Structure 1
Amino acid sequence: MNEMKRVLLFMTCCLLITVASTAKSNDDLRFNVGNYTIEVQVYTPEIIRILKYPKKNNRPEKESFSVILKPEKVAYEVKRMNDICSLKTSSVTVMIDLSTGQIIYTDKDKNTLLQEKNDGVEIIPQTYGTEQTYSLKQVFLLDISEVIYGLGQHQEGRMNQRNQHIHMQQTNMDICVPIIHSVKGYALFWDNYSPTDFIDNAQGMSFNSSSGDCIDYYFMFGENADGVIRQIRLLTGDAPMFPLWTYGYWQSKERYASQDEIVGVVKKYRDQKIPLDGIVQDWRYWGEEDSLWNSVEFLNPHFPNPQQMVDDIHRLNAHAIISVWPCFGPATNIYKEMEKKNMLLDFPSSPNGIGKVYDAYNPAARDLFWNYMNRNIFSLGMDGWWLDATEPEQAHYNSDILNMKTYLGTYRNVRNAFPLLTVGGIHEHQRTLTSDKRVFILTRSAFAGQQRYGANSWSGDIVSNWTVLRKQISGGLNFSLSGIPYWNTDIGGFYSNNYYPGGVNNPTFHELYVRWLQFATFTPMMRSHGTQTPREIYKFGKKGDWGYDVIADYINLRYRLLPYIYSTSYQVTQHAGSMMRALMMDFPRDTRVYDIDNEYLFGPSILVNPVTEPMYIGRNGDKTLLNFDEVKRQNVYLPKGNDWIDFWTGKTIKGGQEIMREVPIDIMPLYVKVGTILPMGPFVQYAEEKDWDNLEIRIYKGADGEFVLYEDENDNYNYEKGKYSTIRFWWNDNRQELQIDKRKGTFPGMLKERKFRFILVDEVNGIGINESSKYTEVKYTGKDMTIRL
């Protein structure tokens, strides 16, 4: 309290301040405090950058890997009296105590948002081998009850990131993004790429990096969670749109051993009338010899005609992506060429331990990597990339590796940014080559800003068990709250045999897999993958078998939801939206949701409550027990501030309460906000099989609502030139009236006329996945319409 009184006494003198009382941006504010210098840079009224470095040094020449925003011209006011300098924009005030260096951030109503701790700075000289650098630490003080999120993906089953210690270094199943996202409506990005410890305890919250020239962080104020995400994307880049087909169902395994096998899987899905859009070719298409690891060429004799393979998949109206690693075996052409040009890092990074990682920090190495990928794979018509092990994976880890030199200095200095550089290189090269095919990259790691590179990260080589399934939810949500919207997980877990001997032949695995697939239906990518057991639907029986039928139903549900999902992806791109939404984003006044780790919203309207424990299948010695007669139940919390309608039954339930929902094996609890307008697509075998010329539009009455239906050419980048259309729907609950706005925009192939089938969902007409027979049909020609339902 005394500290804040002192901060608010604006006394008269300020060290090194030369700006006028009303200043324009790009006038850096510099202060010497003790033995270090502080610089304050105003990027926007909401984004403030702080640099701290030894006073004896010049400002470090640092170029951020993550930040693409340049400081704007921003009017701000500076007041200074004695030891206190106050910088005020239209959104935030930054107060600097020039005697201690402490910085405090407040909003325009003078509410404290975040403050540094007095004496919370450490800039300590360090020597690693021959390198002279600094270890860097900044301590902040959070409110006792303040809840924070983000930090990337750490699979500890936590939503709230308070009171823990995380060593932030990229690994197989940990994605390090040094961004915290507070319920108070701000974010902080610690812009450092060396191994970093995040610690929150009674002494404060701190970032402590092992190496760097200066402390460098960005404070971003967004007022609410969506505003925070907008500030993160403004600072580090927007997420481009993925093709429509990527939101369909994906089949994969470790691995398809021949081109006949992978094409055969697609054919079998088509024969069985099960929707499929993506198939993934994992490793060893380059051959079985370890020395040929990741040659970025088809050298395996079981793939004699890769062009034919890609063409066959396309003729079946499916798409393929392929595994490429950032390391190469010594017998490969790319290894030999990179070795001659000093483009390899001298540590192994492949399961066999004999390959070497390429120097992703070297732009010429990224060019060479793409040249091989383009010439040998992309030129065949391949539809996307599975960039595996982009941490990168290391067979051996020790301090000597961190001391290794890269193109941009020691590996220690740039270690955590490896995924950003390697994924960014592929995106930029493909984007430069063609605008006809949108970049799609599936990758195992990420860093701040990676959303701008058309990448969807997955949660790594997780094991198959129920505890891990539940931890995926909080892992994905915190990843999204770090500003990166696209994330997914191996359906069923990657490693299965340690927990489920016999894999797909073990009925207990069927229950886990079915529940995992239900959850994955409501993630940005629905992708089946794993080792030790195949996951294709026909491995779970045939039509009429419970496992097969539930899998088929949820794949079909995913396709019915494509208009909703694709329209949400438009909001992600155009308005910095989020697909997986932690409940605090939409219900910030309901403190009960702050630490809920097993529920979220998918898009703006659908509450998802995955089933994360076994209920129907167990073991008694060598005997498997199946008991579907007794229907089990699960707790569901419905946030207050909205009433909710059960997706399956149409029953309306008041928010702000916990209920028990029956969860037979074919039901995962789903609740829709009242006031929701939900477009449902046709039953199809692949995403573009049918036009959306007769969409079913469900109205979940009980409150006013709106929805914007987005459409474009489904691939290519013409949407960036304005070639897309939107149709806005408004529901007036009082009048039971739906207004359809005039269609905005146009694109080649756009439907000029269409029909909409409008359905009022209630307990009589609660229809779940099925099409309703009770609807009001209208013809729409792009003009304003009002319909009374």
Structure 2
Amino acid sequence: MKKWLIYSIVFLTVFSSCKKSFKADGNALTFDIEGADQVKKVRLTLLQDDIVKVEATANANFDQTKSLTEAEQPSKFKDFEVTEHSSEWAIKTDALQVTVNKKSGAVAYFNADGSEIIKEKAVEGRTFSPVTVDSVAAYELRQQFDSPADEALYGLGQHQANEMNYKGKNEELFQYNTKVSVPFVVSTKKYGILWDNYSLSRFGDARPYAQINTLKLYDKAGNPGGLDASYREHGNNKHVFIERKESTIDYENLETVENFPKGVDFNNAIITWEGAIEADETGEFKFLCYYAGYTKLWVDGELQFDKWRTAWNPSVAKFSVQMEKGKKHNIKLEWIPDGGISYIGLKVLSPVDKKEQERLSFFSEMGQDIRYYFMKGESMDEVIGQYRTITGKAQVMPKWSMGFWQSRERYKTQDELLGALKEFRKRQIPIDNIVLDWSYWPQDAWGSHDFDLDRFPDAKAMIDEVHENNANIMVSVWPKFYESTEHYKQFDEKGWMYKRAIDDNVKDWIAQGYVGSFYDAYSEGARKLFWEQIKEKLYTKGFDAWWMDASEPDILSNASVQYRKDLMNPTAMGSSTQYFNAYALMNAKGIYEGQRSVDNDERVFILTRSGFAGLQKYGAVTWSGDIGTRWEDMEAQISAGINFAMSGLPYWTMDVGGFCVEKRYERATEGSEDMREWRELNTRWFQFGAFVPLFRVHGQYPFREVYNIAPEGHPAYESIVKYNKLRYRLMPYIYSLAGWTHFKDYTIMRGLAMDFTEDKNVYNIGDQFMFGPSLMACPVYEYKAREREVYFPAGNGWYDAHTGEFIKGGQKKVVNAPYEEMPLFVKAGSIVPTGVDIQYTSEKPDAPVTLLVYTGADATFELYEDEGTNYNYEKGNYTMIPMEWSEADQTLTIKARQGAFDGMVKDREFRVVVVDKNNPVDIAQKSFSFESVKYAGEEVKVSLK
């Protein structure tokens, strides 16, 4: 064998021990593959000792297009060793061993000690299938890995099917209202894979779901050919609109819904499909149902799901059926459209071999090369840190953004918005941000960024008054422009508008409907113009933050995927097929770079409905879209938020209470069951919302201000206010987590597997999560539930945050969940800094900080502080105060302050409270018995024996 020790190669050379070996250019190693059917070259770029960028091409040369997700790397990594063997090349760093098979080009990854981590499937693991799109020759791409059988996988963005662990599962990766796709997974084996492709992709099975007529279908009488479909009048079952046999259920988009029977009223119909399905093979069949309206589905009499979603915004339900070849299974689907055009579709995937299903696999519709990043760490946190090394660091969000936000769809006038803020201040309910949603502009001027002066006579004065009331204001800005606006014309004359919607005369839903389209965010010039228009009309008025709605882009809701591509084609970078998923990333990039170019003092804050890998580097937060006001939607947000955070994007939020409202809640009267449920749903959702990275209430009517949900004194009102105030008392803890996201690449909302990786009992838990290192939130998502089962991870003791009860780890337990409280637990061995009651995050900066020390194990914490709203922390202007609790010595050490910034509190009081079995406390209480410690920046030890 031949061996080369490479320290620093800055020239291009060829090493040869036979006909051809490999080429090295700095930290990039290119291998010619001569035995594979498709792949011609494989290139490994060592970004650091535990991050490898992998490219594979079926062409003579690699794609030179710069990655949209990869951030600039600080330097070229130098310290690695290359060895050539008869069948493979081996690359060694301090952290990894990586091999490349000479015949297949398959790459395998090993720990430094030689133990296997993961490897590309050796035979047909890479697939290049030629396609031509918009006259561009490219490939459908697939990469499969043989991954550990006993791992769990998380990430992939935010999806609504209530799935937590993606090992062995399938997920289609595209952007849609309520669906955010990020092609990254992190494993409990402490590695991650970032798939660098922007086209529609699939994780798991590369096949799209098929129509149900791939199964044998029978009507209720047992006749083959289709299911019995019955379209009847809702409430009058004897009135039949139409009955017929149907072999597909496909009304899932604007094109297929055209096939809905004429004369059947969506507003007054109930449709059932009933009969039997039969497979011609044995195995697990996976079903996917798109639904809007009230939808139930049974297989062999067993209810698979019972869900609702508003007519204009369908969601998805997944279920599996184990089927035997030749055996019939009864099926019934009941669908009640809920007003207006509604959507439904039922599709199926036939089984694949179990080993095949368990592989880690990414497929994409279009690309020139396969390109992905492999990263390995000592923890899942380290892996996510490496993801941000690749894609960019998250900023420290402004401190005000970690407080409470009030929003509704929508404040229709200046007086409504100011009135809501004043009512919060009058009632002494903490608030930091109020939101001005869409349609503040004149009805026919979407995209003008002008205000309707009849409703908003003086926007600048409105903003000033918000600021005078110690709050911030966010404004909704869409990438959408009516063709009549001057802003549209400015884009159009440069060729920066998507024109298909204009050519097709696509009208929106406002009044009689107006024609418009979206700007091309893939154009650098268009992004700059977009910012210039916002700066001129909005930024100069004093708005603090940007709400970038419909950033999928949602040019036409409920269009088919193909028509969605048509509507944004071509982009400045190429075919919309190739760049389908990255619009929100580019849109946020323009705002972030634009604002920082004119004001590098105030932190950028962007709320966007979609996202992609790398979004975190643009000061952006994603929310989960126009979700429904249902208990199942609340439950689905828990796993959706956790997986989004574990996709490397630390900031996420949702519409607390749900956006789209069931009509029964709109009509609910005082004392009715619907009103009781409405209040309880909002209460439970609010309790949950207080423990996600950004705390935001939003939704359609009924209004979502706490005093509109329930009167003062009602348990709903009292609980909502209680959790609002608790959020603010936890601000020293929460803002420290925000600082850690930048300086430690930390993840605030954490799947239990991140902190308890060795406890496999946590791998599939999607309804509990850690909020920072110490707090375990366990939301209640069932009506009238007054208890719920909680798993307490092993290796730690736990304290009930409200009662102080101590609970051993490694067990399931049914815990109390009274109406007013969400089960919340604190890990033994925790330091939780809390503050005093405040009305906004910048109030009382010099107030005492209470340190709740939960005993039972050693503990550490670093209290982070900075100036709150600017970027001076990037220059080193911030402080960290490390703290350590020694369980053996019963001593708390508050170490010397690290760093400094203008206006920092140099001398402060820490109030130390030791929590143990003999001293239980309620974390929500306002005051504690404490030991006072004066701190002036030098180390202080507090013995608490």
Per the normalisation by structure 2, the TM-score is 0.78
Worse overlay, 667-676 or 262-271: 667-676
Q: Distance in 2 between matches of 1:183 and 1:130?
A: 42
Cα distance in 2 between the residues matched to 1:234 and 1:75: 18
CA contact (8 A) 1:127 1:133 kept: yes
Q: 1:17 aligns with which of 10, 16, 21?
A: 21
Contact 1:674 1:702 in 2 (8 A): yes
Q: CA, structure 1 residues 303+466, in 2 after alignment: closer, same or farther (shift >3 Å)?
A: same
Please give the residue correspondences for 1:450-529 in structure 2 after superposition, counting only pairs within 5 Å.
450-498=615-663, 500-502=665-667, 506-529=675-698
Give 2:895's match in structure 1, choosing from 734, 741, 764: 741
The equivalences for 1:282-297 within 5 A come to 282-289=437-444, 292-297=445-450
Q: What is the rounded CA distance, in whole Å, between the counterparts of 1:321 and 1:645 in structure 2?
A: 38
Residue 726 of structure 1 aligns with an amino acid whose one-letter code is: M
Counterpart position of 1:183: 188
1:654 corresponds to which residue?
Answer: 808
Identify if the C-alpha distance between structure 1 residues 26 and 133 changes in structure 2 by more than 3 Å, giving closer, same or farther: closer
Counterpart in 1 of 2:108? 104
Taking the aligned partners of 1:248 and 1:363, their CA distance within structure 2 comes to 34
Compare 366-375 and 164-173 and name the one that shifted more. Answer: 164-173
Name which of 422, 426, 433 aligns with 2:591. 426
Aligned residue in 1 for 2:524: 363
Deviation at 1:166, TM superposition (A): 1.8
Displacement of 1:69: 4.0
Q: Is 2:938 the partner of 1:783?
A: yes
- 2:300 matched to which residue of 1? none
* Counterpart for residue 714 of structure 2: 545
Matched to 1:356, the amino acid is: S
Which AA in structure 1 matches 2:562? Answer: S
Q: Is the 8 A contact 1:706 1:728 kept in 2?
A: yes
Q: Of 663, 667, 670, which aligns to 2:821?
A: 667
Code of the aligned partner of 2:188:
V
Work out whether residues 360 and 421 of structure 1, in 8 Å CA contact, stay in contact via their aligned partners in 2: yes
Alpha-carbon shift at residue 177 of structure 1 (Å): 0.6
Specify the alignment match of 2:783 in structure 1.
Answer: 614
Q: Deviations over 1:684-728 (max 9, x none)?
A: 111112124311111111111111111111111111111111211
Aligned match of 2:434: 279
User: Residue deviations 1:441-472, cap 9 Å, x none?
Assistant: 11111100001111110011100111111111
Residues 738 and 748 of structure 2 are in contact (CA less than 8 Å); yes or no, is this contact kept in structure 1?
Answer: yes
Q: Is the 8 A contact 1:15 1:31 kept in 2?
A: no
The question of whether the paired residues in 1 share the 8 Å contact of 2:26 and 2:76 is answered with no
Supply the distance in 2 between the matched residues of 1:15 and 1:553 (Cα, whole angstroms). 74
Amino acid at match of 1:252: S
Conserved in 2, the CA contact under 8 Å of 1:347 and 1:401?
A: no
Q: What's the secondary structure of 1:125's corresponding residue? A: strand
Residue 402 of structure 1 aligns with which residue? Answer: 565
Kept in 2: contact 1:26–1:73 (CA 8 A)? no
- Tell me by how many angstroms 1:757 deviates: 1.2
- 1:442 and 2:604 are equivalent in the alignment: no
Distance 2:905 2:668 in 1: 46
Q: Is residue 62 of structure 1 aligned with residue 65 of structure 2?
A: yes
Letter in 1 for 2:48: T
CA contact (8 A) 1:14 1:80 kept: no
Q: Is the 8 A contact 1:755 1:777 kept in 2?
A: yes
- Cα displacement (A) at 1:58: 2.0
Cα deviation, 1:154-209, whole Å, max 9, x if unaligned, reads 11111111223222111111111111111111111110111112225632332221
Q: Describe the shift of the 1:757–1:14 C-alpha distance in structure 2 as closer, same or farther (beyond 3 A).
A: farther
Change (3 A) 1:72 1:120: same
Please state whether the residue corresponding to 1:532 is helix, strand or coil.
coil
Shift in alpha-carbon separation, 1:101–1:489, aligned structure 2, 3 A: same
1:504 and 1:534 in contact (8 A); partners too: no
- Match for 1:573 among 742, 746, 753? 742
2:676 pairs with 1:676: no
1:114 and 2:112 correspond? no
Q: Per-residue displacement from partner, 1:567-604 (whole Å, max 9, x unpaired)?
A: 11111110100100111111111000011011110011
- The CA deviation at 1:769 is 0.8
| Stretch moving more, 182-191 or 132-141 | 132-141
Bigger Rg, structure 1 or 2: 2
Contact 2:33 2:104 survives alignment (8 Å): no
1:139 corresponds to which of 144, 147, 156: 144
Q: Which residue of 2 aligns with 1:41?
A: 45
Residue of structure 1 aligned with 2:772, choices 603, 606, 610: 603
Residue 277 to residue 325, structure 1, CA distance change in 2 (3 Å): same
Count of residue correspondences: 758
Report the Cα distance in structure 1 between the residues aligned to 2:539 and 2:453, rounded to whole angstroms: 18
Asked if 1:533 is matched to 2:702, the reply is yes
Deviation, structure 1 residue 654: 0.9
Structure 1 residues 351 and 95 mapped into 2: Cα distance closer, same or farther (>3 Å)?
farther
Distance 1:265 1:347, change over 3 A: farther
Equivalent residue for 1:312? 465
Measure the CA separation in 2 of the matches of 1:553 and 1:45.
48
CA contact (8 A) 1:79 1:85 kept: yes
Partner of residue 303, structure 2: none
CA contact (8 A) 1:15 1:98 kept: no
Determine the structure 2 residue equivalent to 1:50. 54
Aligned residues of 1:32 and 1:38 also touching (Cα < 8 A): no
Q: CA deviation at 1:129?
A: 3.9
User: Aligned to 1:723, which of 877, 880, 883?
Assistant: 877
State the secondary structure of the residue aligned to 2:579. helix
**What is the alpha-carbon distance in structure 2 between the residues aligned to residue 214 and residue 105 of structure 1?**
21
Is 1:205 matched up with 2:360? yes
User: Aligned equivalents of 2:860 and 2:61: distance in 1?
Assistant: 54
Describe the superposition over 1:262-304 as per-residue Cα deviations: whole angstroms up to 9, x where unpaired: 0110001001111111100001111223xx1232222352011
**Tell me, what secondary structure is at the counterpart of 1:162?**
coil
CA distance in 1: counterparts of 2:913 and 2:129, whole angstroms: 66
Moved more, 593-602 or 393-402: 393-402
- Give me the whole-angstrom Cα distance separating, in 2, the residues matched to 1:267 and 1:24: 61
Match of residue 130 from structure 1: 135
Query: Structure 2 vs 1, CA of residues 328 and 654 (structure 1 numbering), >3 Å: closer, same or farther?
Result: same
Tell me, in whole angstroms, the C-alpha distance in 1 between the residues paired with 2:862 and 2:890.
Answer: 19
Which is further off, 71-80 or 46-55?
A: 71-80
Letter in 1 for 2:844: K
Whole-Å Cα distance in 2 between the matches of residues 24 and 439 of structure 1? Answer: 36
**Aligned match of 2:88:** 84
Map residues 20-31 of structure 1 onto 2, 5 A cutoff: 25-31=27-33
Q: What is the letter of the counterpart of residue 46 of structure 1?
A: D
Q: Which runs of 5+ in 1 are unaligned?
A: 1-11, 617-631
- Helix, strand or coil: the match of 1:518? helix
Q: 1:351: Cα distance to partner?
A: 5.2
Q: Does 1:379 align with 2:379?
A: no
Q: Which residue of 2 aligns with 1:627?
A: none
Supply the RMSD in Å over aligned alpha carbons.
1.9
Please identify runs of 4+ aligned residues in structure 1 that moved more than 6 A: 12-15
CA distance in 1, matches of 2:563, 2:913: 65
Counterpart residue type for residue 516 of structure 2: G
C-alpha spacing 1:503/1:125, structure 2 compared with 1 (3 Å): farther
Letter in 1 for 2:49: P
